[in-house]
Structure 1
Amino acid sequence: MKIRTITTGISLPSPKATDKIKQAHEFNQQAKSIFEQQGYAVQTTRITTNSWEEYLSDFSKIEIINKIQNLEQICQNLDINFFNIGHASTPEAIALIPDINKHTSIIYCSSQIGDQQTGINWKNAWESAKSIQRIAQETENGYGNFRYCAWANCQPDIPFFPTSYHCGEISFAIGLELGELVTQAFTQTDNIQDAEQKLQSILAVELEIIAKIATEISSKFIINYHGIDTSLAPSLDKKNSITFAYEQLMNGKFGHPGTLAISGMLTRVLKNVSVKTCGYSGLMLPVCEDVGLATRANEKTYNLTNLLLYSAVCGCGLDTVPIPGDITIDKIAGILIDLATLAIKLNKPLSARLFPIPDKKAGEMTTFNSPYLVDCQIFAVD
């Protein structure tokens, strides 16, 4: 089992508070070292902040971009590769996101399109759709949307990007890559009930060890520990693909009958562990971040509607989904509103990271040339 991320959250009172960034970076490196000494591979360390609207609201558009570029330069000087400036919660702020994305390379951010208290924010959903389309048009192969998503009903301190944002005092959370353990559990049986029990048993042991180390780190450095996001972060390693793990229990391929039942079972297990949890703590199905998901997308065993259906019992939403470059803003907004409706109706965190691919249509292949993504066929949006 790998640790996908140690994510530390800080609240910036102003863009000048760079000491907080340095403090978080130093903590991340020390926490990473402790986990590695215990035999765990730590893939990334990340820093997330409170909403950038809170510490950049008094500046003009040009000044905001310059301040964020300065933050990025500080991060790059410290060899920080993942820095999230939190979410935008007004149409005016969301409209600035394409410019922020265009002028940075390691800055992640998101937009809020609804929550349990206030319902769907229709204006934000529309502006988010415009941002998704513009980012796609202004970045090579539409890749800029890797660093941006729209979300509904997401709480602070999700360790995974781009949804992550922070509130309050400095704290940290852990994100794991659990595909290996799921594969281990599923290959020991051929029925869903037994697989559920085996996965529960394996996670009970493995997560307790991680939680114990994280709690000790929290005490040592006097930094609040939010918990483990037990979501099944994706793997580009074919043998640990969540898709092929599914198919150990199915008489068919991912997307065929039985997929929804296994998705529900996985989320049930991930949400009912004995350790302190945070974030999504559910099933992730990021199409372009999992070799198996991309493979089955190419075979058309599932579609965008299926992914929305699975979101009803999963924990993430629509993640790294390639769609035609000529898609209208109305259709993107419709997808976002459907997702927000599910999130609010079911009171669960859901996000959408969509990739309109410029000059390409449904059925054509993406060409991302990225170490983080696997190419697959573009989904049709009817």
Structure 2
Amino acid sequence: MKIRAITMGISLQSPQVQEKIRQAADFNHQIKSFLAQQGYEVQTTRIATNPWCEYLPGLSPPEIVSEVQKIEQICQSLDVSFFNIGYADSPEQIAIIPEINSNTSIIYCSSKIGSLATGIDLPNTRESAQVIKRISQQTEGGAGNFRFCAWANCPAGIPFFPASYHEGNASFALGLECSDLVMQAFSQSSNLTEAENNLKSIFVEEVSKLDELCQRVAEKFAIEYRGIDSSLAPSLDKTESIAFAYESLGLGKFGQPGTLAISAIITRVLQSLPVKLCGYSGLMLPVCEDVGLAQRANEQTYNLTDLLLYSAVCGCGLDTVPIPGKITVEKIEAILLDMASLALKLDKPLSARLFPIPGKQAGEITEFNSPYLVDCRIFNVE
């Protein structure tokens, strides 16, 4: 098990934010060092803020882009590589995101398209679809959409980007990369009952240790500990693929019958851990961030509708899903509406990070130039 992200959440009040960002960066360094001393590999440290409209009010779109660029420069001077400015929550704010995206390199953000209190926000959903399309056209290979998602019903304090945002006093949360534990548990199991029992036993032991350490960190540095997002972040290591872990149970390839049942088992375990949980705490199935998921996408054992189905019993929604570059805004909007409808009907946090690939059609292979993404077949969404 690795720690995918230590995410520090801070509330900003104005664009003059260098000291707060420095303090957050220092804290991340301290907790990373502490956990490394305990034997944990920490892959990234991150900072997330309250929604950017709260600390960049009354500015024109060009002024907002300029201020966000200044924040990025501060981050880069402090060796901060992942910074999330929170979510946009009106069509006017959402419309600025492509310019923010194309003029920065480490800034992440999201759009809010639904909540239990207000239902699905149709104007925000429409504008978010337009933003996904515009980002795909304005960034090389459409890769800018790696730093943007649309979400519904997501709480503050998610440590995973791009849906992360912060509320309240400064706090920290952890996101895990632990698909290796699933492979370990399932490879030792001869049936689903045994698989679930083994998975719970391994996760309780490993995550409880980390939770205790985080409690100590909170006391040592006098800072709030938001919790652990137990979601199974993906691995680019073939031996740790979540898809191949599924298949070790002998029910066929990922996407074939039995996939939904296994997804439900994993989620049930992740959400029942006796630790302080936060964020999604579910099963992530990011197509382009897992070698096995990408390989099965190439073989067409599952499709976009299947991923939505799995979201009904598990994870975070539609993540790093490649779709044709010529897809219409209306079709993207429809996908977002389906995702948001599931989130609100089932009262769970879901997000959509979609990758329209310019110049490519369904069935062709992506050509990402990214250390975080695996190439795979583009999904058909007709």
Q: 1:251-270, aligned counterparts within 5 Å?
A: 251-270=251-270
Please tell me whether the aligned partners of residues 325 and 360 of structure 1 are also in contact (alpha carbons under 8 angstroms): yes
TM-score by length of 1: 0.99
Cα distance per residue 1:59-117 (max 9 Å; x no partner)? 11111001000000000011110000000000000000000001000000000000111
Matched AA of 2:219: S
**Cα deviation, residue 314, structure 1:** 1.1
Supply the distance in 2 between the matched residues of 1:251 and 1:112 (Cα, whole angstroms): 37
Please give the alpha-carbon distance, in whole angstroms, between the structure 2 residues aligned to 1:354 and 1:155: 21
Is the 2:159–2:173 Cα contact (8 Å) retained in structure 1? yes
Decide whether the 8 Å contact of 1:250 with 1:258 is kept in 2.
Answer: no
Sequence identity of aligned pairs in percent? Answer: 65
Give yes or no for contact 2:285–2:315 (8 Å, CA) kept in 1.
Answer: no
Matched with 1:30 is 30
**Which residue identity lines up with residue 315 of structure 1 in the other structure?**
G
1:331-346 equivalences in 2 (<5 Å): 331-346=331-346
Counterpart position of 2:296? 296
The alignment status of 1:241 with 2:231, answered yes or no, reads no
Q: Is the counterpart of residue 146 in structure 1 residue 146 in structure 2?
A: yes
| 1:88 correspondence with 2:84 | no
Name the residue aligned to 1:79: 79
Aligned-residue offset at 1:57: 1.8
Q: Mark the runs of 5 or more structure 1 residues left unpaired by the alignment.
A: none
Counterparts of residues 83-122 of structure 1 (less than 5 Å):
83-122=83-122
What is the identity, as a one-letter code, of the residue corresponding to 2:44? Answer: T
Distance 1:320 1:366 in 2: 12
In structure 2, the residue matched to 1:68 is 68
Residue aligned with 1:113, SS: strand
Q: Deviations over 1:275-325 (max 9, x none)?
A: 000000000000000000000000000000100100101120000000000
Query: Would the aligned equivalents of 1:308 and 1:317 in 2 still touch at CA under 8 Å?
Result: yes
List per-residue Cα deviations over 1:14-35 (Å, max 9, x = no partner). Answer: 1102211000000000000000
Preserved CA contact (<8 Å) 1:136 1:358: yes
Q: What residue identity is the alignment partner of 2:222?
A: I
Find the counterpart in structure 1 of residue 312 from structure 2.
Answer: 312
For the 8 Å contact 1:10–1:24, the answer to whether it is kept is yes
Provide the rounded CA distance (Å) in 2 between the counterparts of 1:242 and 1:172: 26
Output the CA distance in 2 between the equivalents of 1:242 and 1:6: 22
Q: Which runs of 5+ in 2 are unaligned?
A: none
Q: Distance in 2 between matches of 1:205 and 1:308?
A: 31
Q: Which amino acid aligns with 2:230?
A: T
The one-letter amino acid paired with 2:361 is: K
Between the aligned partners of 1:134 and 1:9, the Cα distance in structure 2 is 29
Report if aligned partners of 2:51, 2:166 keep a CA contact under 8 Å in 1: yes
1:322 paired residue number: 322
Q: Number of residues paired by the alignment? A: 382
Secondary structure at 1:7 match in 2: strand
Distance 1:49 1:18 in 2: 13
Structure 1 partner of 2:373: 373
Residue 226 of structure 1 aligns to which amino acid in structure 2?
R
AA aligned to 2:278 is: C
Which residue of structure 1 lines up, in the alignment, with residue 175 of structure 2?
A: 175
Counterpart-to-counterpart distance in 2, 1:60 and 1:169: 28
Does 2:355 correspond to 1:359?
no
Question: Within 5 Å, which residues of 2 pair with 1:217-232?
Answer: 217-232=217-232
TM-score, normalised on structure 2? 0.99
Which runs of at least 4 in structure 1 moved beyond 6 Å after TM superposition? Answer: none
Q: Deviations over 1:114-154 (max 9, x none)?
A: 01111000000000000000000000000000000000000
Structure 1 position 190, deviation (Å): 2.3
| Contact kept? 1:242, 1:290, Cα under 8 Å | yes
The structural deviation recorded for 1:269 is 0.4
C-alpha separation between the residues in 2 aligned to 1:269 and 1:19?
A: 40
* 3-state SS of 1:114 partner: strand
Q: Distance in 1 between matches of 2:353 and 2:250?
A: 28
Cα contact 1:173–1:227 (8 A) shared by 2: yes
CA distance in 2, matches of 1:288, 1:189: 28
The one-letter amino acid paired with 2:304 is L
Answer yes or no: is the 8 Å Cα contact 2:237–2:291 preserved in 1.
Answer: yes
Q: Give the Cα separation in 2 of the matches to 1:133 and 1:238.
A: 31
The residue type equivalent to 1:304 in the other structure is L
Q: Which amino acid aligns with 1:293?
A: L
Indicate whether 1:131 and 2:131 are aligned.
yes
In 2, Cα distance between equivalents of 1:204 and 1:377: 36
Query: 1:282 is matched with which residue?
Result: 282
CA distance in 2: counterparts of 1:336 and 1:42, whole angstroms: 32
1:192 Cα deviation after fit: 1.0
* Range 206-215 or range 151-160, more displaced: 206-215
Amino acid at match of 2:100: I
Number of the residue aligned with 1:51: 51
